[in-house]
Each structure stands twice: as C-alpha cells, then as structure tokens.
Amino acid sequence: MPKCQNIEPGVVRKPGFIEFGKIPVNQYNKSIVEERGNFSDDDFIRIYHDMVVIREFETMLNLIKTTNEYRGIKYNHPGPAHLSIGQEASAVGMAYTLGTDDYIFGSHRSHGEILAKGLSAIHKLDEDTLYSIMKNYFGGSALKVVEKGFTGTVRELAVHFLLYGALAEIFARENGFNKGLGGSMHAFFTPFGIYPNNAIVGGSGDISVGAALYKKINMKPGIVVCNIGDASMGCGPVWEGITFATMDQYRTLWEGDHNGGLPLIFNFMNNLYGMGGQTMGETMGYGILARIGAGINPEMMHAERIDGYNPLAVIDAFRRKTEIIRDKKGPVLLDTLTYRISGHSPSDSSSYRSKEEIEAWQKVDSIVTYGKSLVDCGITGHDMLDEIRNDTAEILTHILKLSIDDEVSPHLDLTTDPDRIGKMMFSNQSLDRMEEGTPEVLIPMQENPRVKSLKTKERYHKDKEGNQVSKARLFQLRDGIFEAIIDRFYKDPTLAAWGEENRDWGGAFAVYRGLTEALPYHRLFNSPISEGAIVGTAIGYGMCGGRVIAEIMYCDFLGRSGDEVFNQLPKWQAMSGNLIRMPVVVRVSVGSKYGAQHSQDWSSLVAHIPGLKVVFPATPYDAKGLMNSALQGTDPVIFFESQRIYDIGEMFHASGVPEGYYEIPIGEPDIKKEGEDITILSIGATLYPVLKAAGILEKNYGLSAEVIDARTLVPFNYETVIESVRKTGRIVLASDASSRGSFLKELAQTITELAFDDLDAPPVVVGSRNWIIPAHEMENSFFPQPEWIIDAIHEKIIPLKGHISKTDFSAGKAIKLNREGV
C-alpha cells in the first residue's frame, strides 16, 4: 500500500513562527550527599576506580610513546595512541548505566570508552557468563595468558582480560581483541557491547544509526550510543546520520511495535578541539554544540549540554535520556563537555592552546575533584584512593609486561602463513537466513501482484515461433533481480532494504515494484537523499547481524558514499579478526542518457578496494542467480546494474530464466558464445555491442570470436579466460568504464602474465573515452561501439582483410592521448 499523507496547501502555507524551546546547559547541580540515595558507597568508589584505570592506562601509553618506558619497562610502540587523559569522567559516566545489550560505537579516541564499558559490563555480568565469554573468545587465547598464575576472583580476572585484550590490540598482537588487526583506533569487543571505533572522524555517525535500526527493526533489546568528537559535527556522515535517525516516518508510518523513535544517543564527547582547531570560536559556528539539536526536529533531539567533568552529571543524563528512548522518543543528542589534557597524539606540542588553559582544566581535574568529594562526605578515605591508584598501576605493569612479551603475545605470524590476513577478508558463508524466525511479510508471495504478473511473462526473449517477444510480455533483467530479492524477504527474517524512492515509487527503475505490497514499512523504506548514510546505516545493520540491501540510485552518487564504500564496508570483517560478518548488498545502478554526472561506470573504483565483492551481470538469468548468491552470502557485495539493459530479456538460456531458486557462483566468468579465433571479454552491458562485433567478425572477416562475460570483477576466476586464450591466442577486452585505470586494464595485465606464451598479440583494451560523458545523442562517440572493437583488432592484433579503420587505435594516437591526459 502506498502511503497517503496529503500535503494541504492551506496548512503548509499558513503564516506563523517556528518556536524553539530551551536546551538545558549544565543544569545538573546535585551534591554527592544528595545522590546517596541513587548510589551505594561501593558504586561511588567504583566510579572513581574506573576513572583511575583509564587515567593510568592512558598515562602508561603516553609514557611509552614519549619516553619508551613505563615504571622501568621499556617498549617502543610505533603505532597511534590518541589519548583521553582528562576525559575519564565522560567515559565512565556514559558507560555506567549501560548493559551488554547496549552498544557503543566510538572514534579514534576511544580507549577510555572501551575500558569504561568493559568495566561496567564486568560489574554487571555474573561470573559464569563472564568466564564463558572469556573462554570462548578466539578459543580463549587471551584468557590463557591472563589466567596463568592468577589467584583472584573471576571478576578480577576479567579486568585483567579487558586490559590485556585492549592493550595487546593496541600493540597489534594476535591475542588482542581483534587479533591485532584493529589496533588503537578501531579496537572493540562485542561481547561487552563495545562495537567498532573508527579512525575516520565521524565514521560512527551513520554506522551507529544502522545499529539502532537493527535493534528497532528486529525488536532487539538495548540502546546504541554513538560516541564521537565535537569536531565531527562538521562531517557529512554525522549530519547524514542525524537526519537519517530523525526521519518522521518512524513515528508517522512505521506501524505497531515498530512505531516510534530510534534507540540512539549521539553522544558528542566535546573536548572543544579537533586536533588544533577550536570548535567553539573558530571552526564551527554553533557556540554550544547542543544547539544543533534545535534545528533537527520538533523535539530538538532532547538535546542537552552536560558536564562531562562530573561523572555523576553524565550518569544522571544517561538515566534520564535512556528513559526517553524507552518511551520511543529518541534519538537524543548529548553535548558532553570535557577536556583533553593530553595532546591530540603524543607528538602534539599543544601549539594551538595556552599553558594557562591546560592548567585551568587540570585544576578542576575530574578524578581529583571527584575523589576529594568522596573523602569530604566520608564515603572513603585518602588511603583507599591511594590504594586504588597503586593497585591499578601494579596491574597495568603486569599487563604491559604480558602484552609486549613476544613469546606470550606474538604478532600474527605472516611468515609461516603469508596469506593469513587474506583469509580474513571475507567470511564466505552460505546462509539462507541470518537468524531463525518468521519473516515479516504482509501477504503470501503467490498473491503479490507483481509475482502474479511475472507468471504470465515470457522467460526467453523469443517465443516458440522464434519471434522477438514484445517488452510488455518479456521477463526482464529487472524482474530477475526482483525475484531474487522477494524470495529472500520470505526466507530471511532479518532482511531489510532501503534507499531513495525504494518504497511507493517501486525503486527508481522499477526493480522493487511489488515489494511495497509484500513488506511492512520497517522492512522496506525510503531513505533521505543521503548516499553516505544509506550505505553507512547498512554497515551498522550488517555488523550487528542483519542482512540488508542498500541502493545507490546512480553509480555517480557513489562518490557521496565514498567513505562508507571505501573505508568502512570492506574493512570491518578483517579488522575484527574475522569475527564480524557483513551481509550487505549495495545495489548500484549505472546510468545512461543523463550525461556526465549520471552515466559513469565506476566499477573499477570499487574493484580496487580490498574487501568488496563486485558483481556486474548483463542478463536476466545471471542477474537473478548472482543476486541469489549475493543474498545467500555473508560478505559485502557491490551489485552493479546497467540502466541500459534493465528491460532486456534472456537470450542465452533457451529454457528461459528459471522460476525457482538457483545460484550463480560469484567469481565465475561465463562463455556467452563459443569461438576459435579470438576471445572478447566484456563487463556489464557492453556484452551486447561485443556480440554485435562478434557477428561482424564472423560475417565479414571469417573470424570466429569467443565471447566471455566477466559477470563478476572480484573475485575472478581467470581459468576460463586463460583456457580460451590458450585456444584463440588473442584477446580484446571491452567495457563501458573510461579506459584509463579501468578494471579492463587489470584484467589485461593479469592475462598477459598468466598467458604470455599463448598470446599472439598483447591483450587489447577497448574502453570508453577518458572524457565527460556527453548527452545521449552523442553517447556513441563515448561508449565502445562494435566497430571500435573491429578497428582495434585490425590495428593491434590481426589485420583484417579489406578493413579500413574509422577509429584510430594506433600507438601514435595512444601516446598522444595519454600525453594530453585524455
């Protein structure tokens, strides 16, 4: 059912004013005595303890980085360490109320948050659960190290485990929480609800929204906290994440239990600086960060500035804001004011701030102030606080020794197994569904209007008499993709899809027509025009355990989701030590007819990035089979679709596109036409001009061409191509991507290496021009034409009798064009 929300001119044209309410700023003013009803003495002391642990951990790292020594132990750590000395109260306050069902995401400066959340989890979990988490994590490798000779309680052991797992990770050791593949800026430990931290400023700004969507869509317990810095408010992914998280539809259109706001807190750890840029007074204009909430939605995101120098103020805020979220009125924006006493990194000379400023913040140091207030009201004495600090230093000394011992804590062994990291790039699983359960669908599939209509279509492009079937009666490529997707929606209860115009419109190119009738709003919805967040939220959704299809309407808009596609989607499986799976399919539609910013084939850009599978089908049969495989897998797949062939019928399988389920393995090129004299390898829609070229070669020049459709770019099985080249000795490669730096060049180079002895001539690439793409009327001068392929063969591979080239493929021309950069 399409939504029906009439927009009345009489209503929206009415004059008036937007009124803003008040945003509280540092309103917490309770004393410890007043808080005694909310905390036991042990709680008060635990808060102090946790802050001290963070301070000592960071101080130890600071000393290691700046002096190569901590308490007599020498070590050189070449990697990063963005420390949070000064910010401890904000981290401990944030984590205090959260349970392991509550997930935190963070930034490059998240050691403190990891430790705070870990310590909070250790306090809350029972000892059996704690022990089993430690025992099962990577086969208990970290546990074995800290358990040796340990005599304390399981809870105390878990503190050692947490410190060791985090430090070993920072030092890139295999026993680290992510096998040393995450490191300081990415470390995480999901059993305690600690989700990835992100070295890309603002990177968590949309990924965390996807995690909150996962919880909301699948009715999972807990909330999500996105811990990011104040300067990240200038980042696109953060704005896109905020707008995605505050869409009206959660309240206006999502139904039943799914109605209501996202369970998410954007918690800006506001230390008032980027690296050296001051966000208040220099690089931003908000003055007080919480102000941003006012413009976002009528609830002003329940925004508030809180004093992150007082752990109790932060705990108080999290208690109140969690209630708002439980009432389904989220998301919330917190401006948690704090200060980074340490440098941005240990090499920071603090040239951008005065000594007086740092000293002023040191004077009100949260650990000292809080400790004093505990003593003042008789909760504890100085001796106890000294003991906490001394014990912490002792434990950290022990943990440091373990972490830097190459015998106890080796790095991943890449000498014995040089492919170790390669094996972690993909999870390569085959799963019907990501978890058991009944899919949420609105009608039996057989009652779906599109499914019914597809039953009447011709699944092969010619009818029994051999006549071309009209487009209206033809089962088209877009139908193949639809069939795979709707089938998965009836199999996998976690599957959700979003993108621009995905619902009522039926997808910009009618791939999703019929899905609206099948699915409740929360399983298929329109997103804002936020390509970054469309992919970013899918990443968050995927890493939490859900399968998801995100759509980019035009390939050209991939640029808008550059960070998500290049830095996030491909990396988290390996950066987790292969614990996280990323069942995310990104559908990318390659345009045509709309000129320079709507017609580019950027498949080579994504094929270049390790960690993505890249698919580009050219037939309905392949599109359905490959989409089935993409949706059966657990890896990120960039699924290219060409707008030029959405309505094409199946020409290669005379029995037509099967109605039932089948898979085409990702990575296998397919021979579309057999031949003897020359191989032509094509990618995507270029298959059809290539087939025409093959026809001309045969008819006019008596050359039999073997046509191979790559179907997939990554992974790619070269054997089919090499075997063909062994037979033909010649190969041309063609695709719609601009030829310079294209994937064709990669293929050509690898084929040269693998089949040099079998080749009579070098592989020849026929790509598109290195220009802007002109209007449709001039496109034939841009995209490879059948004649170009003939000309290239004539010029570079084998002279064709009587042929006169129209396009100049000579070496001289190639040198000239390259010199000119076109």
Which residue number, 557 or 566, has a Cβ lying nearer to ligand TPP?
566
In the complex, which residue's CB is closest to Mg ion?
Answer: 229
Measured at the alpha carbon of residue 257, what is the angle toward residues 254 and 260, in degrees to the nearest 5? Answer: 55
Which residue number, 106 or 176, has a Cβ lying nearer to ligand TPP?
106
Q: 195: which DSSP letter?
A: E
CA dihedral 574, 580, 581, 582 (to 10 degrees): -80
Q: At its nearest, how many Å lie between Mg ion and the CB of residue 301?
A: 19
Stretch that binds ligand TPP, among 106-114, 457-465, 666-674, 746-754 (CB under 6 A): 106-114
- Say if residues 275 and 346 touch (Cβ distance below 8 Å): no
Among the listed residues 172, 201, 424, 584, the single contact to ligand TPP using CB under 6 A: 201
- Say if residues 540 and 214 touch (Cβ distance below 8 Å): yes
Q: 588: which DSSP letter?
A: E
Binding mask 272-301 for Mg ion (x = CB under 5 A): -x----------------------------
Q: Which of 122, 121, 112 is nearest to 92 (CA)?
A: 112
Quick check: 566 binds ligand TPP (CB under 6 A)?
A: no
Q: At its nearest, how many Å lie between ligand TPP and the CB of residue 113?
A: 11
Among the listed residues 53, 199, 519, 764, the single contact to ligand TPP using CB under 6 A: 199
Size of the site for ligand TPP (CB under 6 A): 15
State both tokens at 50.
Answer: 């946790």
| Preceding peptide of 331 cis, ω within 30° | yes
Q: At its nearest, how many Å lie between ligand TPP and the CB of residue 557?
A: 19
Instruction: Please give the C-alpha separations between residue 442 and each of 122, 194, 489, in angstroms, as whole numbers.
Output: 42, 35, 11
Instruction: Please give the C-alpha separations between residue 819 and each of 741, 807, 815, in angstroms, as whole numbers.
Output: 15, 18, 6
In the complex, which residue's CB is closest to ligand TPP?
Answer: 229
Which residue number, 232 or 409, has a Cβ lying nearer to ligand TPP?
232
Return the amino acid letter for 722: I
Considering only residues 144 through 183, tell me which ones interact with ligand TPP, judged by CB under 6 A.
none
Which residue number, 230 or 635, has a Cβ lying nearer to ligand TPP?
230
Q: Which of 806, 783, 718, 728 is nearest to 761 (CA)?
A: 728
CA 134 to chain centre: 27
Which residue number, 165 or 274, has a Cβ lying nearer to ligand TPP?
274
Which residue number, 209 or 454, has a Cβ lying nearer to ligand TPP?
209
Stretch that binds ligand TPP, among 101-109, 239-247, 523-531, 707-715 (CB under 6 A): 101-109
Q: At its nearest, how many Å lie between Mg ion and the CB of residue 322?
A: 24
Which alpha helices (H) appear in 524-599, and where do they start and end? 531-544, 562, 572-575
Among the listed residues 112, 274, 330, 346, the single contact to ligand TPP using CB under 6 A: 274
* Strand ranges inside 144-222, DSSP E: 194-197
Q: At its nearest, how many Å lie between Mg ion and the CB of residue 354?
A: 17
Which residue number, 231 or 626, has a Cβ lying nearer to ligand TPP?
231
Quick check: 275 binds ligand TPP (CB under 6 A)?
A: yes
The option from Mg ion, ligand TPP, none interacting with 648 (CB < 5 to 8 A, set by class) reads: none
Cα separation, 167 vs 416, whole angstroms: 25
Among the listed residues 46, 65, 109, 547, the single contact to ligand TPP using CB under 6 A: 109
Stretch that binds ligand TPP, among 122-130, 199-207, 212-220, 526-534 (CB under 6 A): 199-207
Q: Which residues participate in catalysis according to the annotation? A: 598
Q: At its nearest, how many Å lie between ligand TPP and the CB of residue 586?
A: 21
Size of the site for Mg ion (CB under 5 A): 5
Q: At its nearest, how many Å lie between ligand TPP and the CB of residue 23?
A: 20
Quick check: 200 binds ligand TPP (CB under 6 A)?
A: yes
CA 597 to chain centre: 24
Q: At its nearest, how many Å lie between ligand TPP and the CB of residue 604?
A: 23
Binding mask 220-259 for Mg ion (x = CB under 5 A): ---------xxx----------------------------
Quick check: 314 binds ligand TPP (CB under 6 A)?
A: no
Quick check: 342 binds Mg ion (CB under 5 A)?
A: no
Which residue number, 333 or 518, has a Cβ lying nearer to ligand TPP?
333
Q: At its nearest, how many Å lie between ligand TPP and the CB of residue 394?
A: 29
- Say if residues 553 and 508 touch (Cβ distance below 8 Å): yes
For the chain, the first-to-last Cα distance in angstroms comes to: 50
Quick check: 108 binds ligand TPP (CB under 6 A)?
A: yes
Q: At its nearest, how many Å lie between ligand TPP and the CB of residue 68?
A: 24
490 burial via Cβ count (<10 Å: 0-12, 13-18, 19+): middle
Instruction: Please give the C-alpha separations between residue 659 and each of 387, 431, 455, 558, 623, in angstroms, as whole numbers.
Output: 72, 21, 8, 32, 13
Considering only residues 211 through 230, tell me which ones interact with ligand TPP, judged by CB under 6 A.
229-230
Considering only residues 335 through 354, tell me which ones interact with ligand TPP, judged by CB under 6 A.
344
Q: Which residue has the tokens 């085959």?
A: 430
Quick check: 273 binds ligand TPP (CB under 6 A)?
A: yes
Stretch that binds Mg ion, among 151-159, 264-272, 687-695, 701-709 (CB under 5 A): 264-272
Which residue number, 164 or 273, has a Cβ lying nearer to Mg ion?
273
Report the relative pairing of strands 712-714 and 613-615 from DSSP bridges.
Answer: antiparallel
Which residue number, 299 or 564, has a Cβ lying nearer to ligand TPP?
564
Angle subtended by helix axes 41-67 and 88-96, to nearest 10 = 140
Cα separation, 101 vs 325, whole angstroms: 14
Measured at the alpha carbon of residue 559, what is the angle toward residues 245 and 612, in degrees to the nearest 5? Answer: 85
Among the listed residues 100, 175, 232, 604, the single contact to ligand TPP using CB under 6 A: 232
Instruction: Give the 3-state DSSP-derived string for 662-718, with helices as H, strands as E and coil as C.
Output: CCCCCCCCEEEECCCCEEEEECHHHHHHHHHHHHHHHHHHCCCEEEEECCEEECCCC
Among the listed residues 84, 271, 448, 735, the single contact to Mg ion using CB under 5 A: 271
- Say if residues 335 and 270 touch (Cβ distance below 8 Å): yes
- Say if residues 306 and 26 touch (Cβ distance below 8 Å): yes
The option from Mg ion, ligand TPP, none interacting with 232 (CB < 5 to 8 A, set by class) reads: ligand TPP
Quick check: 81 binds ligand TPP (CB under 6 A)?
A: no
Phi, psi (5° rounding) for residue 398? -65, -45
The option from Mg ion, ligand TPP, none interacting with 108 (CB < 5 to 8 A, set by class) reads: ligand TPP
State both tokens at 149.
Answer: 């000779």
Q: Which residue has the tokens 């705070």?
A: 116
State both tokens at 330.
Answer: 């989220």
Stretch that binds ligand TPP, among 104-112, 331-339, 399-407, 459-467 (CB under 6 A): 104-112
Which residue number, 105 or 621, has a Cβ lying nearer to ligand TPP?
105
Which residue number, 62 or 738, has a Cβ lying nearer to ligand TPP?
62
Residues 6+ apart with CB under 8 A from 212: 223, 224, 245, 262, 263, 264, 330, 331, 540
State both tokens at 335.
Answer: 């401006």
Query: Which conformational region is residue 86 in: left (phi greater than 0), alpha (psi within -120 to 50 degrees), or beta?
Result: left
State both tokens at 578.
Answer: 């292969």
Q: At its nearest, how many Å lie between ligand TPP and the CB of residue 84?
A: 7
Quick check: 112 binds ligand TPP (CB under 6 A)?
A: no
Q: How many other CB atoms are found less than 10 A from the CB of residue 806?
A: 10
Which residue number, 268 or 475, has a Cβ lying nearer to ligand TPP?
268
Stretch that binds ligand TPP, among 269-277, 424-432, 508-516, 788-796 (CB under 6 A): 269-277
Bridge-partner residues for 731, per DSSP?
A: 679
Cα separation, 572 vs 564, whole angstroms: 11
The option from Mg ion, ligand TPP, none interacting with 201 (CB < 5 to 8 A, set by class) reads: ligand TPP
Q: Which of 260, 108, 264, 259 is nearest to 187 (CA)?
A: 108
Note the residues at the interface with ligand TPP (CB under 6 A). 107-109, 199-201, 229-232, 271, 273-275, 344
Note the residues at the interface with Mg ion (CB under 5 A). 229-231, 271, 273
